[in-house]
Homo-oligomer: A and B are copies of this chain.
Amino acid sequence: MFDGHTALGFCMVLAIILFATKVIGLIFRRLGLPQVLGYIIAGILIGPAIFGDPLGEHGFALIGVQGKPYWCFLYLPDDSTVLSVFSKIGVLLLMFSTGLETNLKELKSTGLTAVLIALAGVFLPLVLGILISLPFGNIGLGTANMYRCVFIGTILTATSVAITVSVLKELGKINTKLGTTIVSAAIIDDVIGIVLLSVVTGIAKAGAGEDLTGFAWFKAQWWGTVIMIIAFFAVAVLAGWGFSKLFKWLDKRWPNTHRIPVFSLAVCFLYSWVAEEVFGVADITGAFFAGVVLSTVHRASAYTDKKVEVNTYAIFAPVFFANIGISSITFVGLNPSILLFAVLAVFMGLIGKIVGCGAVCKAFKYNLRESAIGGVGMMARGEVALIVTATVTSTALGPNALPPEFMIMTVLLILVSSILTPILLKVLYGREKPSAGDGTAVEPVTETVAEEPAQEGANQ
């Protein structure tokens, strides 16, 4: 009905997205579910997925695509750059924010246990994900599509720091030895997952490239991809050292809390762009490492400031998640095979974390109950899994890209894991003897979920 692609029309699209995501996000938070799921559901509701009836002519959508056979209140062109720009900024800020929370100095002191838990928690789901994909040649996976099988494995790797922190906090276990180890492992897990994603998508892109010459040819070889990734990390660290010097100087010269965050944002976009355009590394990797590098600046004062400010810019993050619901999720191509696969993959994803992380805990002399807690505590998935899925289903990967139907799997994974994690943890901690020697006083801390600063970057 109305054009949502003019400047003012898009403001109205934005108003609808902001309103819907806030309302449904709020309801989800009340239900103890991750807000990001609420954002996606909001997108599904306002987009054409359910009521759009793309097969008939009688459907409707609040926000739809131009020329489709359903009535829509605001229509966007099929390749709406504006919506994709807002989504892109949202995902970059989310990764930037995740990077900012990866405090390198703190991680150094967490020791070997966390690193090994993280490694096992990445490795086992990755392998199980690949294995479960092999028999499913009928839905576009299988041995003929090895890249896609690896993508499925990669999606299953990243633990959600936000949900883990939020549940442990609620149980009053965040400051125990096991609690801090789990949180550290979840953070390291992000770093490994992002590097893995860069390598995997880099190689998949390389596999799709043909008829290239010179530098483009070099980048398209698998060894070229690996070299460029290493080169990017070297340049990122070097440039980051320069930026951190510059920011420290700026802050000393003109103390002002408002300037640094805007410059940080510019650095985040610069890193993302250089990563993708120059080094052929995924842009979200660039944003993530911009965050990691800048997290070393102004640890005491400006750190929190920056974080808050970045979260505030998260008008963009809801758009990213809602856009998954509006543009990526459709129930048309869905068949029983995909649903069966999704259920199995979710199961493998959960088992992989519990067994992998639990086994490492057991090897480090935790008892069986504590090892189970370590495994279950690493089980929750969240926005990073969505971001990885969005990246590996992106058309930029050419024929190797995962078909968008698999987004359902990720949504299911987040839903199931975020319901099970708090329930199982409560049961496991419930068995604890009152005089448990966890290294902290066992007091019944019962903060409500609503008051927590968790679910970073998506919590407005």
Which residues of A line the B interface, CB within 8 A? 2, 5-12, 14-16, 18-19, 22, 26, 81-82, 84-85, 87-89, 92, 254, 256, 258-259, 261-263, 265-270, 272-273, 276-277, 283, 309, 312-313, 315, 450, 459-460
A85 to B11, CA, bound (A): 8
Q: Is the interface of A mostly helix, strand, loop or mixed?
A: helix
> Do A277 and B8 contact each other (CB < 8 Å), given the known contacts A82-B81, A312-B312, A313-B315?
yes
A84 to B268, CA, bound (A): 22
Chain B's closest residue to A271 (CB) is: B15
Contacts of A459 in B (CB 8 A): 258
> Do A262 and B22 contact each other (CB < 8 Å), given the known contacts A2-B277, A256-B450, A273-B15?
yes
Closest Cβ of chain B to A378, distance in Å, is: 29
A13 to B142, CA, bound (A): 41
Listed from nearest, the 10 A-B pairs whose CB atoms lie closest are: A15-B269, A7-B88, A12-B273, A11-B269, A7-B84, A15-B266, A18-B266, A19-B266, A312-B312, A15-B270
Contacts of A10 in B (CB 8 A): 81, 85, 88
Chain B's closest residue to A3 (CB) is: B277
Of B18, B85, B277, B309, which contacts A7 at CB under 8 A?
B85
Copies in the complex: 2
A438 to B258, CA, bound (A): 35
Of B2, B262, B273, which contacts A315 at CB under 8 A?
B262
Chain B's closest residue to A84 (CB) is: B7
A460 to B309, CA, bound (A): 11
Q: Flag if B460 contacts A269 (CB, 8 Å).
A: no
Q: Flag if B19 contacts A263 (CB, 8 Å).
A: yes
Closest Cβ of chain B to A31, distance in Å, is: 14
Chain B's closest residue to A80 (CB) is: B81
30 pairs from A and B in contact (CB 8 Å cutoff): A2-B277, A5-B81, A6-B81, A7-B87, A8-B88, A8-B283, A10-B85, A10-B88, A11-B89, A11-B269, A11-B272, A11-B273, A11-B283, A12-B270, A12-B273, A12-B277, A15-B265, A15-B266, A15-B268, A15-B273, A16-B266, A18-B263, A18-B265, A19-B263, A22-B259, A22-B263, A82-B85, A261-B460, A262-B315, A312-B312
